[in-house]
Structure 1
């Protein structure tokens, strides 16, 4: 199992599963992160900061601890 937090900058992956509560999953879905969606990791902020993702034409930042709860297929 790979998580979003283990990805390297420039890699693309597809979301396989969320290991979060239902409310947070709805929030992620609203941001465009849905099971089956492919995205790219654009950059990692320094000092264990958030991860910068691109999903289609949308870009967003996600905390590392949240990214650890998202299973991806690389």
Structure 2
């Protein structure tokens, strides 16, 4: 994932626990939602996402459960 790029969540993949899916839904991360990767921390984790007017941080290890599409034209699976 590249800072400044916009992404769309295509679907959840291989979520090991319903609690993780609930966390994504509570944060507004669900299939069809678009967000922008604002920045990475200096060591690469966590990542800051912008969803409309909402800004949130998420661990890279949690992004593996989201299949995403890079809206700049490249397909991306994080």
- With normalisation by structure 2, the TM-score equals 0.80
Question: Among residues 46, 50, 55, which one is paired with 1:54 in the alignment?
Answer: 50
RMSD over aligned Cα atoms: 1.0
Superposition pairs for residues 1-74 of structure 1, below 5 Å?
7-19=1-13, 20=15, 21-74=17-70
Q: CA deviation at 1:67?
A: 1.3
Query: Of the two structures, which has the highest relative contact order with CA contacts closer than 8 Å and spacing of 6 or more?
Result: 1
Q: Which runs of 5+ in 2 are unaligned?
A: 71-78
- With normalisation by structure 1, the TM-score equals 0.84
Q: CA deviation at 1:63?
A: 0.4
Q: CA deviation at 1:39?
A: 0.4
